[in-house]
Structure 1
Amino acid sequence: MTVDDAVVKLWVLATIAGIVLSMTACSVSTYEGLATTAQPSVLSSPVSEPDYSSVLHPNYRVVTTSALDLGGGPTPDRIVVSAGPGLDAGKPVDGGTQDVQILSYDAIAERWNVTFDAANTMTAAGSLDAVPLLPQTNRLASVTVKGFRADQDKPAYLLITGVDSTANHPLTLTGIVSLSDGVAKMAYRSNQDMNATVQVEGPDTGPQTLTVASDYFPPWAPACCPLRKYTRTIGARGDAGLLIDLSDDRPWLGVWLGQPSEGDGPTGSGVVVSTIPGSPASAVLQPGDLILGVKGAAVPVGRPVYAFDEVGSHYPGDSVTLRISRHGQDSTVGVTLGSMADPHAAQPSAPIEGFVGIQVQPAAGSTPGLEVADVSAGAPAARAGMQEGQIVTAADDVPVRTFTDLLVALTNKAGHSLTLTVVDPSTHGSSSLTVSPQIAPSGRLASHPI
């Protein structure tokens, strides 16, 4: 072996040794199908503070900064609460708005990265909609951040709360963010609590829960008077450790309740637009039922009585007798109310209004039903052969007497077949037409889950 060969051999061995040593400091892993480089467990030199001005929007200023270990790495993450007039300089938010960002240190690239921004659109676990936690077009104030350890064996979450004062009553926004392998996820989000307080319960080492106390407003009349206070608890459940509502002392009936068309029901009644599978109501109520109230309920003094108020004033586990009207006949049904924390109550699919392309009016003759005043050319009803002057008397063998009856019959029928029974008033002959409703331009019905 020559001297040159020996030098080359020693250089190769040294290079291999260097690679082996470097691989003990960092390793490659996968996260959701993407290759990521695990950060070193020990840093070779102290990390400098991030330049916050370089990551904030020009309209914003730093309100607070804090350090919190969210990812389990050697460098705690930095949490920034900022404030400004909004992201759009041409449309400043009246009173200003606030935002939250998480900065995590990348020891490989030796730089700070923004791993979460509450102004960005994100989908929370168990949610159907992708929206920002802190929309920067709203007047947001009192934004706070705090560590939240739902599981003592896992890194802390970041709890974010803020108050949206754009609404009639201050709306408390609650979000919980998890950070894993440098990727932030919205683990929980709620934007339903008015005038709420959020308390962290449990030891600092975990497990902890959140207790939220809030005003309970009727869903279609939030400008006036809350029914009462309600309390719900948020925490981790199951082997997967999902963050969910563990308890909620608002009652759950399990219906989408809407207001009947004018004249189709007594003042304050609610029409069952659809029932939610697995709910207490699914076995005793039907779409089209009018809920008139709760039998024996006390009548509040000084304000209108609404069926929702009488149901909402009760608690989970209460057995109540509902006063209802079905096809014009008054009766009562018994039901045991559930809790809004029931998994079946989480993100139920909102009813979709169907469209067949007709205008109707109450039939003037002896035949009960709705007279067809107009048929839109090319619409599903026209394609099925429906004509002006015919009287719609039933939908899938369910009597149709009012506008509300027809609206309920068309609900969630888009893409399906619906059999309408029609009567020719000149001959009194009855026939059946099969229509295929489309999704109405209005889309989701103006109804609320209770």
Structure 2
Amino acid sequence: MANFSKSSVPRFAVEVYQNEFLPEGGREVNAIVTVSSTGGGTQGSGTRHTYRAGEAPDAAVVVMVDCSGSMEYPPTKMRNAKDATKAAVDTLRDGVSFAVVAGTHVAKEVYPGGGRLATASPETREQAKAALAKLTSGGGTAIGTWLRLADRLFDSGDAAIRHGILLTDGRNEHESAEDLRAALDAVDGRYTCDARGVGTDWEVKEVTQIASALLGSADIVADPAGLAGDFTRMMEAAMGKEVADVGLRLWTPMGAEVRFVKQVAPTVEELTGRRTEAGPRAGDYPTGSWGDESRDYHVCVEVPAASVGQEMLAARVSLVLPPAEGAEGAPQTLAQGLVRAVWTDDMAASTSINPQVAHYTGQAELAQVIQQGLDARKSGDIDGATAKLGRAVQLASASGNADTAKLLAKVVDVVDAATGTVRLKAKVTEADEMTLETRSTKTVRVKKQQ
């Protein structure tokens, strides 16, 4: 794990929001689990993270830049990609390990070369930027080879926090979907990766698949001129990560069954199928690396039916940190919370939906109906697209998700947001449609009850 002094380890907290009351015979228990990480080595609110001596976590970053032939059309695209990567290199904290990879139908090391990582310093940053200036475009696109080379480079060092940044401008045409999936499976859990699509000639589902599998963010940079700012923000976020490989551990009692676990803020991310067993009736769900941040998770557990007046612990939710690679010992519990079930004949109590659960159920549906609506639109199903995107407008309006509402308004004409009455726009730019699809899983936090 990361090397830091005890004073720099982030403090984790778990809060559980639920209506624990069930009617007689009721079995489904829902809870929103808010996980917050605070403290650690960050000081102040500036963009550069500073640490006291010996406190900075071991971190490594590999930037994968698309250098395929399409990056030359228009020529400003390649120039902006180089400038963005230079800006990311400038944002590296001294002492962080890093490398730059050029991606085409094969993956090539740009800097430092020799199958290794460089250590960030004023000198190596300048060397990396000089190497980037010589990059040229040409060839195809096989993203799986880029991801595998990044993994080998990370393996040449021993950093605990490993973060990739991947930029592509086109479809992954020089390897099969199975090849990409195999590469993602091979590097799963070995590093996190943010993925970006520049322009409008790439495939949204490919970019979001990469980010989802590697627990990173996905976004569109429709105008290449925006790359430098986006790369800088991504690198700043990566530099703020202080602890890696945190697991969300869910213990359930005999007879209880986990129905699903999903992250619901800041984005919707399905985690149910990513469980790894962690002892009797316990399983771990990956959450990746953490800095100073807060995330929300929706946990749904089915418990055995019981009579009025009975109560039980439906689940214990813990944040766990595995021992360092090669070290022995039990995982460290960073924080935990309890999910309860209480059976009552009070109808008002048992039928009330917790505001947090209701809000995030709506946000998850919002992400789903946007995807369904856009898929229907692409297939020519006008009625289906209108119905789904109308429901999306209704949900975005009701939940206060103003950012998503603005994106939807570029694809549909809103007649009545409250009822979800819309008309599909006759003309929609490819950039607007791709932006809505790429950002469809971004959620708005629920307003906490005072």
TM over 0.5: no
The structure where helix makes up a greater share of residues is 2
Higher relative contact order (CA 8 A, sep 6+): 2
CA radius of gyration, larger in: 1
Q: Which has the higher strand share?
A: 1
TM-score range, shorter chain: under 0.3
TM-score of the superposed pair, with normalisation by structure 2: 0.24
